[in-house]
């Protein structure tokens, strides 16, 4: 990778950085440096203005970029700029450049209630970001060509989720907790109401939203992806199942949340569209995959042969797995240890029989375990990769693991 090699950082908000000099054009460096100098942490408006004037911006146009950075400075904002003297560029800043480049091509439906931001939409994040992007486009600002992230743009995801350049902007939506039910000793189901999951398709199990809940001090929002277990459109109500454990902010929130608590969710994403002519399907996963697995079973054909292999904390978790005429479930006890999931899922995969006929394999859970199982079937069993779906719902040692296969 040469000078493009990613450099891991120890900062919670900035996980990866790249060399600024080799990754950005001269004008992109000027733009980023100016924005960094506008931040409250490094306020130097005179220098920032000079940099933006050099790339062709007027004072009136510069004021829009000041407004954008002021949004970044708000406690609840989930994007961080590096210091003005930094010789690197971070993930958030790369996504900001991609946003400037792509957003003018997006055409939000302003007449939709879903796109309304508030009483003063001219000051909304979406409006300010779009205005800045249009300004750069009008002066023929040149961006380096970069691929659109497989996970979509995540900047300011509590305000705006853009999944694809061809799709319109969808805002995160407030929802209210209307129920919290214990499913098993280490699992609960939180029911949320108040938002229509546009595009929900019950034939695509594993669809998910990003759930944003207030941090401990209430000054920011923390987001993480969760599978929609069930959706009742007539009530604008849906369920999210949580695995409860000692670590994990959202796990603690789910255990304590009560009726009336208000959080927010992003637009609906993902899901798996399996062929309709399958004879069988093998499913392997841990407790984090139970919501998606349960949805698959519920919406599969009654003639489909399904063999599910699970790693669980307790047998009680089996009670939430739906029934099906040709369903077989094999489970093993989860034990403490860094490689427990990998060992357990691999052991079950090696014992699994691949039936005759047209079939599919689906595996999800800890990222390393899911990858190992997928490689076992493709390399050791020579099963076609095109008929294996895998997803890393979490990764050991990573607080908010993002798996590209979730999209």
pLDDT at position 16: 57
Instruction: Please list, residue by residue across 178-190, b when 16 or more beta carbons sit within 10 angstroms of its beta carbon and e when fewer do.
Output: eebeebbebbbbb
Mean pLDDT of 130-144: 89
Alpha carbon distance 50, 30 (integer Å): 10
Question: Is the pTM value of this prediction over 0.85?
Answer: no
HSE, CB side, 13 Å, CA atoms: give it for residue 38.
24
DSSP label at residue 191:
E
- Name the band, by pLDDT with cuts 50, 70 and 90, for residue 157: very low
Alpha carbon distance 79, 72 (integer Å): 6
> Which residue would you say has higher pLDDT here, 39 or 127?
39
Length of the chain: 407
At residue 42, φ and ψ (nearest 5 deg) are: -135, 45
Q: How far is CA 330 from the centre of its chain?
A: 30
Mean pLDDT of 302-307: 92
Read off the pLDDT of residues 318-331 as tens digits, 9 standing for 90 and up.
988 999 999 999 99
Mean pLDDT of 49-54: 93
At residue 216, φ and ψ (nearest 5 deg) are: -60, -35
What angle, rounded to 10 degrees, do the helices at 59-72 and 125-138 form? 140
Alpha carbon distance 154, 91 (integer Å): 10
Range name among 113-117, 173-177, 307-311 with the lowest pLDDT average? 113-117
- Name the band, by pLDDT with cuts 50, 70 and 90, for residue 28: very high
Q: How far is CA 396 from the centre of its chain?
A: 17
Instruction: Calculate the average pLDDT of the chain.
Output: 80
At residue 169, φ and ψ (nearest 5 deg) are: -75, 135
Read off the pLDDT of residues 54-84 as tens digits, 9 standing for 90 and up.
999 999 999 999 999 988 887 766 677 888 8
Question: Could you identify the residue written with the tokens 């095109």?
Answer: 386
Q: What percent of the chain has pLDDT over 70?
A: 79
* End-to-end CA separation in angstroms for the chain: 26
pLDDT at position 176: 93
Q: Is the pLDDT of residue 15 over 70?
A: no
Alpha carbon distance 387, 96 (integer Å): 36
> Which residue would you say has higher pLDDT here, 402 or 202?
202
Mean pLDDT of 151-179: 54
Q: Is the pLDDT of residue 216 over 80?
A: no
Question: Could you identify the residue written with the tokens 């950085």?
Answer: 17
pLDDT at position 98: 83
Alpha carbon distance 226, 289 (integer Å): 10
Alpha carbon distance 254, 249 (integer Å): 9
Alpha carbon distance 117, 95 (integer Å): 22
Mean pLDDT of 324-344: 83
Mean pLDDT of 95-107: 74
- Name the band, by pLDDT with cuts 50, 70 and 90, for residue 123: low
Q: Is the pLDDT of residue 367 over 80?
A: yes
């Amino acid at each position: 990778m040469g000078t493009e090699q990613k450099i891991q950082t120890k900062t919670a908000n900035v996980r990866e950085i790249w060399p600024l000099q080799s990754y950005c054009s001269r004008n992109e460096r000027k733009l980023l440096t100016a924005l960094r100098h506008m931040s409250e942490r490094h306020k130097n408006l005179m220098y920032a203005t000079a940099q933006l004037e050099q790339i062709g911006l007027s004072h009136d146009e510069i004021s829009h970029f000041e407004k954008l950075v002021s949004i970044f400075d708000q406690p609840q904002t989930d994007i961080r700029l590096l210091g003005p003297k930094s010789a690197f560029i971070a993930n958030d800043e790369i996504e900001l450049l991609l946003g400037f480049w792509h957003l003018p091509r997006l055409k939000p439906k302003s007449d939709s209630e879903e796109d309304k931001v508030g009483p003063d939409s001219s000051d909304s994040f979406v409006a300010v970001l779009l205005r800045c992007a249009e300004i750069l486009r009008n002066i023929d600002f040149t961006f380096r060509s970069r691929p659109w992230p497989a996970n979509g743009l995540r900047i300011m995801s509590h305000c705006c989720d853009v999944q694809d350049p061809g799709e319109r902007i969808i805002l995160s939506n407030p929802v209210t907790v209307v129920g919290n039910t214990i499913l098993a000793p280490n699992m609960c189901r939180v029911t949320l109401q108040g938002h229509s999951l546009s595009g929900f398709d019950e034939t695509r199990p594993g669809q998910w939203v990003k759930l944003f809940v207030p941090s401990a001090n209430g000054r920011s929002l923390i987001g993480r992806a969760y599978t929609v277990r069930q959706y009742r459109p007539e009530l604008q109500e849906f369920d999210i199942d949580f695995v409860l454990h000692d670590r994990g902010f959202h796990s603690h929130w789910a255990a304590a949340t009560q009726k009336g608590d208000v959080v927010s969710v992003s637009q609906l994403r993902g899901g798996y569209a399996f062929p309709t002519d399958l004879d069988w399907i093998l499913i392997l996963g841990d407790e984090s995959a139970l919501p998606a697995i349960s949805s698959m079973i519920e919406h599969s054909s009654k003639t489909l042969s399904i063999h599910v292999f699970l790693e669980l904390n307790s047998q009680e978790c089996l009670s939430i797995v739906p029934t099906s005429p040709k369903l077989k479930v094999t489970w093993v006890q989860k034990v403490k240890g860094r490689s427990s999931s990998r060992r357990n899922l691999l052991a079950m995969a090696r014992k699994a029989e691949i039936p005759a006929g047209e079939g599919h394999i689906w595996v999800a859970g800890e990222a390393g375990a899911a990858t190992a199982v997928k490689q076992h079937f493709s390399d050791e069993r020579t099963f076609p990769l095109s008929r294996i779906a895998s997803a890393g719902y979490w990764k050991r040692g990573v607080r908010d693991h993002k798996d590209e296969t979730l999209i």
